[in-house]
């Protein structure tokens, strides 16, 4: 029986023999309240892991970090042999003391373990992402039928004919239907058609004569694994899903397999079949559940962002098609912008959309359709944009020429609002209607831009809008919000990277919208040093992932997802990586200041 918990990084990288070595060398030490563990005047001879109690890291009189059970302190100080801050006991603490010599020896013999202490930023963030993947199996075993069931039941009367059933199944794109005959409930499937053809049964035969009434059911809140087990035991491919004693759906074997291999496939199928806004509202909620599931499986934020972008595009397109008259859909282009356009909005934060209308086309339903679309997205869980960047705002619902005039104004009179509106438009992606309308506006914008370095410097200067919350001695700078110490991860970390890369891309004619694609193209063209591009990309991936995990936790608590992070709730590894990421943000901002000569403009 081991006394040391090796289930959290970086100790997960150790072999059994290495774990034994570390455990043999470890001492258990007790510290009383307010006792000083590490101080600047003392050598650091050990790495500490908290068993119980609370330890504060102090810079003068400011608390810059709090360490609780399973937290490790202080890797940087142990490697350097000294510390610039004080570590003081806040509540009686029992800790493991791991000798510095033993830990450093393990870092030399085990690259995975050593990466925690010495690796580059890219390697550290990559290791963190791999750790999260180990949670996948646990999540799969706790998935419920509700998570995978996407097939709404299609009903037919027992007196309907086989021909009626064929027409209904074709119309509803369904491979099975439920047959209501008196008090009995049966099922009729495409497989039954094979038997009917082989037996020469007339197509006028009533369904109740050929369907199966011996249905096997599963409750919607039962474990998905149990449903799969039932199918395997009974050698069947479908189960009727029951909720409160009534049929709520059909669960097919392919649904379960798709859930375990590609959850998004089910949602995409539902989007294709949806005929009402009510169905789309349910799908929008399922997208959020999908994000939670895949995030717990270890899928990284950049990949999740792309997936959500693709699903949202189909969701918005289908909603617009259900709301707007067909002639309006054909003569307009619905755009998503900002983080949604870049494929980096994973959770539902706010709406950023616009409508381009073909010159010469007019329709009395335009204003009503735009208002309904904005209201519908709010119903789907996408809050209205505080800045009014929505199709219901006339500024973002324009004919082609009016939008070209607006682009001209933004470029030629680049004040603060104009430049931010331009930045939002630069990230636009078409999701419905005639995509050529956006391409024509993009082509016009490219013709407006010149080699005026002062314009690009003004555009890039927005990176200075928010301070990076990292102070001297690498302490995280927080502000009090609702009685808790928080930092805004979007303003302090994500925005400077995203906008800096956007500015470089605009300056050098990079056509991609996604920040990671932009980074790749800038590096491929030699416009950004490859190592810096890799580090910036990994830092952004980590920051997006951290925002996502906190946002999901807030949603689970019944609150809206926000950009506020509470550092005290992070693990030691997460705090260290956050410091590394913010230090990288500072370095990248310095690069941008030099590249765009930001100090030379007023």
Count, in order, helices (H) and strands (E) of the chain.
26, 19
Q: Which of 244-258, 273-287, 380-394 has the lowest mean pLDDT?
A: 244-258
Through-space distance between the first and last CA atoms of the chain, rounded to whole angstroms: 66
One DSSP character per residue, 73-107 reads E-HHHHHHT--SSEEEEEEEEEEEEEEHHHHHHHH
> Cα separation of 114 and 124, whole Å?
10
191-229 pLDDT, tens per residue?
A: 888 888 888 889 999 999 999 898 899 999 888 878 877
Q: Given pLDDT bands bounded at 50, 70 and 90, which one contains residue 231?
A: confident
How is residue 406 written in tokens? 């607006």
pLDDT at 132: 47
1-48 pLDDT, tens per residue?
A: 467 777 777 888 888 899 999 989 999 999 999 999 999 989 999 999
> Cα separation of 546 and 301, whole Å?
9
Element (H, E) at 119: none
User: Residues 258, 264, 270, 272: is their CA dihedral positive or negative?
Assistant: negative
> Cα separation of 98 and 78, whole Å?
10
Q: Is residue 406 within 8 Å of 398, Cβ to Cβ?
A: yes
Pairwise pLDDT comparison (235 vs 19), residue with the higher score: 19
Q: Is residue 519 within 8 Å of 528, Cβ to Cβ?
A: yes
Distance of CA 529 to the CA centre of its chain: 27
Q: Given pLDDT bands bounded at 50, 70 and 90, which one contains residue 258?
A: low
For the ranges 107-116, 465-474, 573-582, the maximum mean pLDDT occurs at 573-582
Other CB atoms within a 10 A radius of the CB of residue 518 amount to 24
Taken in order of first residue, the domains within the chain and their CATH numbers are 11-118 (2.60.120.10), 150-263 (3.10.580.10), 320-449 (3.30.460), 461-600 (1.20.120)
Other CB atoms within a 10 A radius of the CB of residue 480 amount to 8
- CA triplet 522, 526, 531: central angle to 5 degrees? 80
> Cα separation of 408 and 450, whole Å?
12
pLDDT at 92: 93
324-362 pLDDT, tens per residue?
A: 999 999 999 999 999 999 999 999 888 999 999 999 999
Pairwise pLDDT comparison (84 vs 181), residue with the higher score: 181
- Per-residue pLDDT, averaged over 395-414, amounts to 94
> Cα separation of 439 and 430, whole Å?
9
Q: Is residue 144 within 8 Å of 159, Cβ to Cβ?
A: no
pLDDT at 287: 87
Tokens 């603490």 — which residue?
A: 93
Q: Look at residue 85 and tell me whether its pLDDT is greater than 70.
A: yes
> Cα separation of 303 and 309, whole Å?
10
What is the crossing angle of helices 416-426 and 453-460, to 10°?
90
Tokens 């260290």 — which residue?
A: 576
373-387 pLDDT, tens per residue?
A: 999 999 999 999 998
Pairwise pLDDT comparison (75 vs 371), residue with the higher score: 371
Element (H, E) at 251: strand 246-252
Q: Is residue 18 within 8 Å of 109, Cβ to Cβ?
A: yes
How is residue 450 written in tokens? 């010149």
Calculate Rg over the CA atoms of the chain.
29
pLDDT at 410: 94
Q: Given pLDDT bands bounded at 50, 70 and 90, which one contains residue 317?
A: very high
> Cα separation of 301 and 339, whole Å?
13
> Cα separation of 427 and 512, whole Å?
9
The model's pTM: 0.68
Q: How many CA atoms lie within 13 A of 339 on its CB side?
A: 20
- Residue 527 phi/psi, 5° resolution? -90, -10
pLDDT at 137: 41
Please state the three-class secondary structure of 192-256 as a single string: HHHHHHHCCCCCCCEHHHCCECCCCEEECCCEHHHHHHHHHHHCCCEEEEEECCEEEEEEEHHHH
Q: Is residue 546 within 8 Å of 433, Cβ to Cβ?
A: no
414-445 pLDDT, tens per residue?
A: 887 899 999 999 999 999 999 999 999 999 99
Q: Which residues are within 8 A (CB) of 134 and not within 5 positions of it... i.e. 6 or more apart?
A: 12, 298
Q: Which residues are within 8 A (CB) of 237 and not within 5 positions of it... i.e. 6 or more apart?
A: 231, 252, 253, 254
- Per-residue pLDDT, averaged over 58-67, amounts to 77
How is residue 420 written in tokens? 């931010």
Q: Look at residue 49 and tell me whether its pLDDT is greater than 80.
A: yes
478-531 pLDDT, tens per residue?
A: 888 888 889 999 999 999 999 999 999 999 999 899 999 999 999 999 999 999
Q: Look at residue 141 and tell me whether its pLDDT is greater than 60.
A: no
> Cα separation of 320 and 322, whole Å?
5
pLDDT at 561: 86
> Cα separation of 83 and 76, whole Å?
8
pLDDT at 58: 85
From the number of C-beta atoms within 10 Å of its C-beta (0-12, 13-18, 19+), residue 207 rates as buried
> Cα separation of 442 and 455, whole Å?
18
Q: Look at residue 297 and tell me whether its pLDDT is greater than 70.
A: no
Q: Is residue 468 within 8 Å of 589, Cβ to Cβ?
A: yes
pLDDT at 307: 82
Q: Is residue 106 within 8 Å of 98, Cβ to Cβ?
A: no
pLDDT at 1: 47
Other CB atoms within a 10 A radius of the CB of residue 327 amount to 11
Q: Given pLDDT bands bounded at 50, 70 and 90, which one contains residue 57?
A: confident
Q: Which residues are within 8 A (CB) of 146 and not within 5 positions of it... i.e. 6 or more apart?
A: 220, 221
Strands 176-181 and 155-157: parallel
Q: Given pLDDT bands bounded at 50, 70 and 90, which one contains residue 569?
A: confident
Task: Classify 117 as helix, strand or coil.
Answer: helix
CA distances to 257, 416, 459 from 149, rounded to whole Å, are 12, 48, 47
Q: Is residue 78 within 8 Å of 103, Cβ to Cβ?
A: yes
> Cα separation of 87 and 89, whole Å?
7
CA distances to 30, 510, 541 from 302, rounded to whole Å, are 43, 19, 6
How is residue 395 written in tokens? 């500024």
- Per-residue pLDDT, averaged over 306-330, amounts to 93
174-191 pLDDT, tens per residue?
A: 888 999 999 899 999 888
């Amino acid at each position: 029986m081991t006394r040391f918990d090796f289930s959290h990084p970086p100790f997960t990288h150790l072999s059994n023999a290495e774990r034994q070595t570390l455990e043999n060398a470890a001492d258990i030490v007790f510290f009383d309240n307010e006792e000083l563990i590490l101080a600047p005047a003392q050598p650091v001879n050990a790495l500490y892991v908290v068993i119980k109690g609370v330890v504060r890291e102090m810079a003068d009189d400011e608390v810059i970090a709090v360490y609780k059970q399973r937290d490790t302190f202080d890797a940087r100080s142990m490697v350097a042999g000294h510390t610039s801050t004080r570590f003081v006991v806040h509540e009686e603490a029992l800790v493991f003391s791991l000798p510095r010599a033993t830990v450093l020896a393990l870092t030399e013999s085990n690259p995975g373990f050593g990466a925690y202490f010495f690796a580059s930023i890219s390697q550290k963030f990559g290791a963190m992402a791999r750790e999260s993947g180990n949670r996948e199996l646990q999540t799969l075993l706790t998935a419920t039928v509700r998570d995978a069931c996407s097939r709404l039941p299609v009903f037919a009367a027992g007196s309907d004919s086989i021909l009626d059933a064929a027409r209904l199944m074709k119309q509803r794109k369904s491979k099975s239907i439920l047959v209501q005959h008196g008090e009995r409930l049966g099922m009729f499937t495409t497989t039954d058609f094979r038997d009917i053809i082989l037996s020469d049964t007339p197509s006028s035969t009533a369904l109740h004569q050929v369907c199966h009434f011996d249905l096997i059911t599963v409750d919607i809140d039962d474990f998905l694994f149990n449903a799969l087990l039932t199918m395997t035991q009974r050698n069947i491919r479908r189960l009727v899903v029951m909720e409160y004693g009534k049929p709520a759906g059909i669960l097919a074997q392919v649904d379960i397999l798709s859930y375990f291999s590609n959850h998004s496939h089910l949602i995409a199928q539902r989007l294709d079949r949806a005929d009402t806004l009510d169905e789309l509202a349910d799908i929008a909620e399922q997208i959020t559940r999908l994000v939670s599931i895949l995030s717990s499986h270890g899928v990284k934020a950049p990949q999740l962002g792309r997936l959500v972008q693709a699903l949202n595009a189909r969701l918005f397109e289908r909603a617009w098609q259900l709301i707007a008259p067909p002639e309006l859909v054909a003569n307009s282009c619905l755009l998503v912008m900002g983080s949604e356009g870049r494929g980096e909005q994973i959770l539902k934060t706010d709406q950023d959309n616009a409508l381009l209308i073909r010159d010469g086309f007019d329709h009395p339903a335009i204003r009503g359709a735009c208002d309904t679309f904005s209201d519908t997205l709010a119903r789907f869980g996408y809050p209205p944009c505080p800045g009014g960047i929505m199709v219901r705002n006339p500024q973002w619902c324009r004919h082609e020429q009016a939008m070209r005039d607006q682009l001209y104004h933004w470029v030629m009179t680049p004040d603060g609002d104009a430049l931010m509106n331009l930045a939002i438009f630069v990230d636009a992606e078409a999701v419905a209607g005639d995509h050529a309308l956006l391409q024509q506006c993009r082509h016009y914008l490219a013709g407006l831009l010149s080699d005026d370095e002062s314009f690009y410097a003004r555009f890039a200067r927005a990176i200075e809008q928010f301070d990076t919350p990292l102070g001297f001695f690498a302490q995280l700078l927080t502000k009090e919000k609702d009685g808790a110490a928080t930092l805004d991860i979007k303003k302090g970390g994500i925005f400077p990277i995203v906008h800096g890369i956007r500015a470089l891309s605009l300056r050098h004619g990079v056509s991609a919208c996604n920040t990671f694609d932009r980074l790749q193209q800038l590096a491929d063209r030699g416009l950004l040093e490859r190592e810096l591009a890799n580090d910036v990309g990994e830092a952004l991936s980590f920051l997006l992932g951290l925002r996502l995990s906190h946002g999901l936790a807030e949603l689970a608590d019944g609150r809206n997802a926000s950009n506020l992070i509470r550092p005290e709730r992070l693990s030691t590894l997460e705090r260290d990586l956050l410091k590394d990421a913010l230090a990288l943000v500072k370095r990248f901002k310095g690069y941008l200041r030099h590249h765009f000569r930001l100090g030379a403009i007023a």
